[in-house]
Structure 1
Amino acid sequence: MAAMAIAERDVARREGTGAALLDILANRRRAHAAADRVAVIVAHPDDETIGCGAQLHRLDNVTVVVATNGAPRDGEDALAHGYASRASYAAARERELCDALALANLPKSRIVEIGLSDQAAALHLADLVRAIHVLVAARDIRVVLTHAFEGGHPDHDATAFAVHAAAVLRRRRRQALDVIEMPFYHREDDGWMTQCFSRHLKQPATTVRLSPTEQRWKRRMLAAHTSQRATLSLFNAEFECFRLAPAYDFLSLPNGGELLYEAYDWGLAGERWLELSRAALGELDLADERWF
């Protein structure tokens, strides 16, 4: 009886923590779990599906937050995808997001769109931190699933920065915010490496192998993002990876300084990232903070 009581206390203590959520994600026999205090915070419409699409229908009342509208400011992506304007492209990506999440039984009331332009999140780091901090407090979020800091896309890294900074601000109020991260893509051997964590950080990870039913489900969600069909063909629907986020130094470049986004015209280079992150940490009075 004493051992059972201790085990029950341990479960209660872990409830609402990142470690507890990882256990839930790894337990394929558990069909549903309460997730009122869980948020998935990502950079673009479709990142939620790439990172954890097969899990969303299991997480009851999860909140999904998207930092950008998926439409770069220069309008070239909009034209390339057949849209006459940035606004029409952004509207299409919003519809696709809602369609994909409807397949996971997620109502619009659980979707929050911050609305920054694609490729511009790093230019608004402090504002993004504040927006996430306010939302996390308002919804009493205890665990966030977000991007790894991996140098793949500047918006991904900006979103990771903002979530980690919001966690520090919560900790100042003696309120915990655990961070679970998901891999998207990074540079390795001069090319793309998708859906696995950078080799530069050795941190235990949980790989969830998806059942055939879950794979079909996730493929339907990916297909709902119709404008992104070419990009999404780079990702598979066989597994999803998660780990408790390590302590990052956001004043150093991720992935050993090998940045995939420097090979593309995505609005940022590593040197500029360092300038922007340093400025945001100073503005938020976080420059001297011990992050984790």
Structure 2
Amino acid sequence: MVFSQKKKCGFGKKKSIKKKKKLRNEEMKKSLQLLGVKKFFMQDIPTRELKENIEKTFRKINFLVKNHKIDTIFCPAYEGGHQDHDVSNFICSRLQNSSKVYEYPEYNFSKGQINCNEFIKPTKNQVTLKLSVNEKKEKIKLLEIYNSEKENLDYLHLEKECYRELYHYDYSQPPHIGKLFYRRFSFFSWHPRVDSDTPENIIKKIVNSEIF
């Protein structure tokens, strides 16, 4: 499992920020333990900074794929939920020669409403999994581990999950028409919890990268 970036911790004194980082690392390790994941790699790149490290991240994941003979990759969909997810999707699209790449939807703001676990443009080849009662309980248990992110998880749904082979996106265009999820509160761009970047800037970084 690869964590392409780590969470920023917002305002606060150094001691407080260090404490929050430690907490989030502990949450991550606890979730991996529950999932039975023993091997993982985490980059030391702050959230919303993946666009500045596209080539570096591609080279690292490409190395891991070859070194560990990884034949299947799952990545977030290109849907405007979080800029790092969109950049991750682009990076993984460049790994299709060595691995099968699948994507899964998390959350988007297509048609001006919050949509969870649904692709913006459904396709015939997507697989939809309706979660059983026990699977829902397991998902809740995993979500509860991330107590530091509980304010950002209240809109998530438990009914289903879906995935498909990576869609052929046009990365020179935004994921969908209208306001993207991470731009919903753009008028509060001064706040560290709000993404001040624009889709145009993310696209520019992608298009100007060496692997585009």
Measured in 2, the distance between the counterparts of 1:249 and 1:208 equals 27
Q: Which amino acid aligns with 2:26?
A: R
Question: Which residue among 161, 180, 201 is the counterpart of 2:102?
Answer: 180
Residue of structure 1 equivalent to 2:167 = 246
Conserved 8 A contact 1:132-1:162: no
State the distance in 2 between where 1:89 and 1:195 align: 28
Normalising by structure 2, what TM-score?
A: 0.86
1:259 aligned residue: 180
The DSSP-based 3-state class of the residue aligned with 1:189 is helix
Residue 67 in 1 paired to residue 4 in 2? yes
Of residues 253, 268, 274, the one that matches 2:197 is 268
Identity %: 22
Alpha-carbon separation, structure 2, partners of 1:222 and 1:252: 32
Contact 1:119–1:267 at 8 Å: present in 2 too?
no
Among candidates 192, 199, 202, match of residue 114 of structure 2: 192
Secondary structure class of the residue paired with 1:145: strand
How many pairs are equivalent? 202
Q: 1:90 aligns with which of 9, 12, 21?
A: 21
Q: Contact 2:129–2:162 (CA<8 Å) still a contact in 1?
A: yes
- For 2:60, the equivalent position in structure 1 comes to 131
- Asked if structure 2 preserves the Cα contact closer than 8 Å seen for 1:147 and 1:157, the reply is yes
Deviation at 1:123?
2.0
1: CA distance between counterparts of 2:87 and 2:196?
13
Q: Which runs of 5+ in 2 are unaligned?
A: 186-193
Query: How far does residue 260 in structure 1 lie from its aligned partner after superposition?
Result: 2.1
- 1:46 is aligned to none
Q: CA deviation at 1:237?
A: 2.5
Higher helix share: 1
Q: Could you say which residue in structure 2 is the equivalent of 1:233?
A: 154
AA aligned to 2:152 is: T
User: What's the RMSD between the two structures over aligned residues?
Assistant: 1.9
Q: Distance in 1 between matches of 2:55 and 2:32?
A: 28
Q: After superposition, give the CA deviation of every residue in 1:235-290 in whole Å (9 maximum; x if it has no partner).
A: 1223211111111221222124642222343142121112101111xx23x4xxxx
Amino acid of the structure 2 residue aligned with 1:259: L
Q: Is the 8 A contact 1:203 1:246 kept in 2?
A: no
The answer to whether the 8 Å contact 1:69/1:116 transfers is yes
1:164 is matched with 93
Kindly report which structure 2 residues correspond to 1:207-222, keeping only aligned pairs within 5 A, or say none. Answer: 207-222=128-143
Residues 71-91 of structure 1, C-alpha deviations (whole Å, 9 max, x = no match): 25xx23xx5xxx811x33222
Q: Based on CA coordinates, which of the two structures has the bigger radius of gyration?
A: 1
Cα distance in 2 between the residues matched to 1:133 and 1:267 = 30
Distance (whole Å) between structure 2 residues aligned to residue 138 and residue 160 of structure 1? 21
- Which amino acid in the other structure matches residue 135 of structure 2? E
Q: Which has the higher strand share?
A: 1
SS in 1 for 2:164: strand
